[in-house]
């Protein structure tokens, strides 16, 4: 099969969260299964920082609501997967991808309508007619409607024949791409589409249109696929998802163990370990405490947090319980960035408990690896969590996760087996889970070791999940003659 995988971010060129890792490793696994898969993303400034070997493969114009805009297409290889960058200085040559701090770029709708059209034009420029176009999150959500209403619709573009099937993956339903109704002309679509497919409480909602107009909709865990059809989790789109249940599938994300494995990790001070010999983990812990300026308190449990510091991640529960957790004679190290009120809280906590708390506000991939390796426990008390990658990375490093039972956390962590869980989103139950973890760590070391070994042996690599995506594609394409 031929697949175009369209994503606003792909590791290592641009990453704000888990989507980027998925957009790198899922296509690679699909390629390994014998398919012709290519990826495409915008060429932000961050792409240049990675210094990929690129060649210019095409230049074309894209018709938008206010005229023709130029696009230059660059090609590189990302772990063997052909990857295209859409270059338009005015839209993408920016440090930040979608917003500066809390301030969204005012031209985001124009930018990503342009990107979706440029991705379709890319197929023509390269004479690559995909069987399936796989879109990811709101930045790519208008592609199905652009394809069906414009390219294969009133323009009757002969190239898109047969019309590629569209798969849309929801990585996080709380980000929907909502814009004021007066932005409608930017979409250059007949008004009927607004009424039928985009309108949502008087606004344009890009995700709603993608749910309506894609041939299949997937999300990133089975439990999340159930949850988003319910009021508290669907962020308003629950009824629309419920009505479209027949085309909704939950497929758990995989992870790339070449990047996230304690026996090969290049970022852990040159120290490695495995399930059979875990001594290296404790040497990494010592170095990590040193890096954070914390005293090396031997077997005092070191609790790690790596997160976007936003409400979704349950930071309010950490706030509510942090001092109580430290009173259990623990240390806590934090890596994250997000809402300033959380920055201020963690800075305050560090000042108040300088020998117990280490804080790094910012994005630091290498440090994330060292925390996964050097911490004993990992906190993820999310309010909701579509899949979550950090708890899966933690398992591989024998860093037992303490999570709320929601979304992908519920699908990957079993209480007392490979981590500790709680259900009700409240500080009492969260603290209870941490307390139980500290108790097992301190008083039942043989049980702790057993849980570490179980966690480290688990396999969440992409192979199985990639097969499930391929099945979705095959069901849509139906024409098995074009399948490999
Ligand atoms: P989400 O996509 O909702 O942010 P995930 O758990 O799916 O959550 O993925 C988060 C990814 O981003 C992980 O790879 C994690 O290591 C990384 N990450 C999050 N915050 C930081 C940070 N401040 N520095 C480095 N990596 C981070």
Q: pLDDT averaged over consecutive 10-residue blocks of the chain (484 residues)? A: 98 93 96 97 96 97 96 97 98 94 92 98 98 98 96 89 97 97 97 97 98 98 97 94 97 94 98 97 98 96 97 98 98 96 98 98 96 98 97 98 98 98 98 98 98 97 94 87 40
Place of tokens 């390796």: 373
Peptide bond into 162 cis (omega under 30): yes
Strand, helix or coil for residue 359: strand
Residues 6 or more apart whose Cβ sits within 8 Å of residue 317:
381, 425, 426, 427, 430
Tell me, in angstroms, the distance from the centre of ligand 1 to residue 388's CA.
Answer: 8
CA distance 37 to 27: 6
Tell me, in angstroms, the distance from the centre of ligand 1 to residue 306's CA.
Answer: 7
Level-2 CATH architecture, domain 279-459: 3-Layer(aba) Sandwich (3.40)
CA distance 192 to 196: 6
Atom of ligand 1 nearest to the CA of 365: 25
> What is the best residue among 138, 170, 219, 308 to mutate for testing ligand 1's pocket, by most ligand atoms within 8 Å of CB?
308
| DSSP assignment letter at 254 | -
pLDDT of residue 479: 53
Strand, helix or coil for residue 319: helix
b/e code 169-204 from CB counts within 10 Å (16+ = b): bbbbbbbbbbbeeebbebbebeeebeeebbbbeeeb
State the span(s) of the chain assigned CATH 3.40.50.2000.
Answer: 2-254+464-477, 279-459
Other CB atoms within 10 Å distance of the CB of residue 351? 10
pLDDT of residue 483: 38
- Atom 14 of ligand 1, nearest CA residue: 18
Q: Alpha-carbon Rg of the chain, whole angstroms? A: 23
Tell me, in angstroms, the distance from the centre of ligand 1 to residue 107's CA.
Answer: 26
Tell me, in angstroms, the distance from the centre of ligand 1 to residue 310's CA.
Answer: 12
- Atom 12 of ligand 1, nearest CA residue: 17
Atom of ligand 1 nearest to the CA of 387: 7
- 2-254+464-477: CATH topology: Rossmann fold (3.40.50)
Pocket of ligand 1 (CB under 6 A): 17-18, 21, 306-308, 335-337, 363-365, 368, 387-390
Residues 6 or more apart whose Cβ sits within 8 Å of residue 416:
451
CA distance 255 to 473: 21
Predicted TM-score (pTM) of this structure = 0.93
Tell me, in angstroms, the distance from the centre of ligand 1 to residue 158's CA.
Answer: 42
Cβ-contact 219, 250 below 8 angstroms: yes
Tell me, in angstroms, the distance from the centre of ligand 1 to residue 43's CA.
Answer: 21
């Amino acid at each position: 099969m031929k697949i175009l995988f369209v994503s606003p971010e792909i590791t290592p060129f641009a990453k704000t969260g888990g989507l980027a890792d998925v957009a790198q490793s899922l296509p690679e696994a699909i390629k390994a299964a014998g398919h012709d898969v290519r990826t495409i993303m915008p060429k932000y400034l961050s792409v240049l920082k990675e210094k990929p070997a690129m060649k210019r493969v095409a230049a074309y114009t894209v018709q938008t609501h206010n005229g023709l805009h130029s696009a230059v297409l660059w090609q590189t290889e990302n772990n063997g997967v052909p990857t295209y960058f859409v270059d338009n200085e005015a839209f993408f040559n920016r440090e930040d991808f979608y917003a500066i701090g809390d301030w969204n770029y005012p031209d985001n709708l124009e930018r990503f309508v342009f990107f979706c059209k440029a991705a379709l034009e890319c197929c023509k420029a390269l004479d690559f007619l995909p069987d399936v176009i796989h879109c990811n999150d709101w930045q790519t959500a208008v592609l199905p409607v652009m394809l069906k209403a414009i390219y294969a619709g009133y323009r009757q573009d002969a190239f898109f024949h047969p019309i590629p099937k569209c798969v849309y993956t929801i990585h996080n339903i709380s980000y929907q791409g909502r814009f004021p109704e007066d932005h409608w002309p930017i979409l250059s679509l007949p008004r009927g589409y607004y009424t039928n497919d985009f309108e949502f409480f008087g606004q344009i909602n890009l995700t709603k249109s993608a749910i309506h107009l894609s041939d299949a909709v997937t999300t990133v865990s089975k439990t999340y696929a159930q949850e988003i059809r319910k009021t508290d989790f669907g962020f308003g789109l629950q009824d629309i998802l419920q009505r479209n249940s027949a085309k909704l599938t939950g497929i758990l994300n995989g992870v790339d163990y070449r990047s996230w494995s304690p026996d090969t990790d290049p970022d852990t001070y040159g120290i490695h370990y495995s399930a059979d010999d875990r001594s290296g983990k404790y040497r990494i812990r010592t170095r990590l405490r040193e890096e954070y300026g914390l005293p090396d308190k031997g077997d005092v449990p070191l609790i790690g947090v790596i997160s976007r510091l936003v409400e979704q991640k349950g930071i309010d529960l950490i706030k509510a319980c942090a001092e109580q957790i430290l009173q259990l004679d623990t240390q806590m190290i934090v890596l994250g960035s997000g809402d300033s009120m959380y920055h201020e809280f963690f800075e305050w906590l560090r000042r108040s408990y300088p020998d117990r708390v280490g804080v790094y506000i910012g994005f630091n991939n290498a440090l994330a690896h060292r925390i996964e390796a050097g911490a004993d426990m990992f906190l993820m008390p999310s309010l909701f969590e579509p899949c979550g990658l950090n708890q899966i990375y933690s398992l591989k490093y024998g860093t037992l996760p303490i999570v709320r039972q929601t979304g992908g956390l519920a699908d990957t962590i079993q209480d007392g087996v490979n981590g500790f869980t709680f259900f009700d989103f409240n500080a009492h139950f969260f603290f209870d889970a941490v307390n139980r973890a500290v108790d097992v760590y301190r008083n039942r070391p043989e049980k702790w070791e057993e849980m570490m070994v179980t966690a480290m042996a688990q396999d969440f690599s992409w192979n199985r999940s990639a097969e499930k995506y391929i099945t979705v594609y095959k069901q849509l394409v139906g024409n098995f003659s074009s399948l490999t």
